[in-house]
Amino acid sequence: MTDIRLALTGFGNVGKGLAILLAENEETYRRAYGVRMLLTGVADRGGAITNPEGIDPAFLLRVKETTGTVAGYPGGVPGLAGTKFLEGARAQVLVEASSTNFEDAEPGWSYIRGAIDNGMDLVLASKGALVLHWADMMRSATARGVQVRFSATVGAPLPILEMAQRVLLGSTIEVIEGIVNATSNQILSSMSEGLSYEDGVRRAQEIGIAETDPTLDVDGWDAAAKAVIIANAILGADLRLSDVARTGIRGIVRRELEEARMSGAAIKSIARITNHEGVVRAEVRPDRRPLADPLGGLRNDEMGVVFHTDPLGVMTSTARSTAGGGIVTALTVLRDLFNLANDRGWGHVPA
């Protein structure tokens, strides 16, 4: 039985989701994958706790709820962060799950650089560093022999990276298009049922999938960031967020949605990446799709991706999850961890 020692940065919905999953299922994972997932360090805005012997995830969740920070855990240190945190955790893998920041990618980017310097593998749930420092990060990671996984950042739980890496081999990917932002799709779904934009936002917030400030979702920033990551990781592009032509969903009026619905169609917020003989372009904008279209039929917080490839043809993946967003993203982090363990020879994934 191999221990996989994890340093987790960020303890919001995704970090907590991971702790919940580990608290409930660690024994099951151990039996299934031959590895023991051990949290040896957890940091949030208030500070951090490190313990190379392992931190109890169930107790950590209670501490966070009562004290507001993981630093409230016995032995925790308010203000502990950065390199000192990473050294204390003595982990093999950094799970970076702090809030995505498109300004300077912090605090994730500092943690990521520290982890690479220490030869730690990376499993990322935040998008900032991927979007702002892609080439730089991959270069240092490769130089240091460090693995970087980030399935959770491109529309979790969709298997977008896995499709490109393991399934579409031998074909050229010409177009990737997807509904990769659940919040926008939920709001458009509500509006097509007659709700106003404002009520659609409110309902999405009540369900727990929209933030208090939904700007990143409804103005297409989140989908554009995902498009950048997908384009760079899968198609070898070097796009920035500013390269993505971006139109959000604020301008859509109920009447358009109802009209589309009457004629067997739907207006969807689509991220579209095209690869024309190596020239890669990305855009995010509302698009009218027939309900019979693989993306047009996706309702509420369903998500999907369509790969147009040559010569294989059109391959589609869709997801409809009943678990909350934090749990779904945490499950996607976990699958990166299990695959990493398998590829590193640490454990085994059943054949």
Cβ neighbours of residue 206 closer than 8 Å, sequence gap 6 or more = none
CB burial of 323-348 (b: ≥16 within 10 Å; e: otherwise) equals eebbbbbbbbbbbbbbbbbbeeebbe
Q: Which residues of 237-276 are buried (b: 16+ CB within 10 A; e: fewer)?
A: bebebebbebbbbeebebeebeebbeeebbbbbbbbbbbe
The torsion region of residue 6 among left (phi > 0), alpha (psi -120 to 50) and beta comes to beta
The arrangement of strands across the sheet holding 2-9 comes to 77-78, 47-50, 35-44, 2-9, 93-96, 121-124, 148-149
Q: How far is the CB of 98 from a copy of itself (least distance, A)?
A: 22
Minimum distance of a copy of itself from residue 159's CB (angstroms):
4
Judged by CB under 8 A, the number of residues near a copy of itself is: 46
Determine, following the binding rule CB under 8 A, whether residue 351 of this chain makes contact with a copy of itself.
Answer: yes
Choose the stretch contacting a copy of itself; rule: CB under 8 A; options: 94-102, 121-129, 159-167, 205-213: 159-167
CB of 93 to a copy of itself, least distance (A): 15
Of 88, 87, 76, give the one whose Cα is nearest residue 45.
76
Rounded to an integer, what distance in angstroms lies between the CA atom of residue 154 and that of residue 317?
A: 13
Over the window 26 to 65, marking each residue x when it contacts a copy of itself by CB under 8 A and - when it does not, the resulting string is ---x---x--------------------------------
- Report the nearest approach of a copy of itself to the CB of residue 321 (Å): 3
* Span interacting with a copy of itself, options 6-14, 60-68, 87-95, 334-342, rule CB under 8 A: 334-342
Count Cα neighbours of 107 within 13 Å in the Cβ-side half-sphere. Answer: 20
249 makes contact with a copy of itself (CB under 8 A): no
Among the listed residues 139, 240, 250, 320, the single contact to a copy of itself using CB under 8 A:
320
Q: Which residues have C-beta within 8 Å of that of residue 283, sequence separation ≥ 6?
A: 227, 244, 245, 246, 271, 272
Residues 3 to 22 in contact with a copy of itself, rule: CB under 8 A: 21
Q: Is 123 near a copy of itself (CB under 8 A)?
A: no
Residue among 62, 75, 104, 166 that touches a copy of itself (CB under 8 A): 166
CA distance 275 to 334: 30
Stretch near a copy of itself under the rule CB under 8 A, chosen from 118-126, 217-225, 272-280, 330-338: 330-338
Q: Of these, 26, 99, 138, 259, which contacts a copy of itself (CB under 8 A)?
A: 138
CA distance 23 to 75: 20
Which amino acid makes up residue 55? Answer: I
Residues in contact with a copy of itself, shown as a per-residue x/- string from 282 to 301 under the rule CB under 8 A: ---------xx-x--x----
Containing H/E element for 193?
none
Residue 344 Cβ vs a copy of itself, minimum distance, rounded to whole Å: 12
Residues in touch with a copy of itself (CB under 8 A): 21, 25, 29, 33, 138, 148, 157, 159, 162-163, 165-171, 233, 236, 291-292, 294, 297, 311-323, 327-328, 331, 334-335, 338-339, 349-351
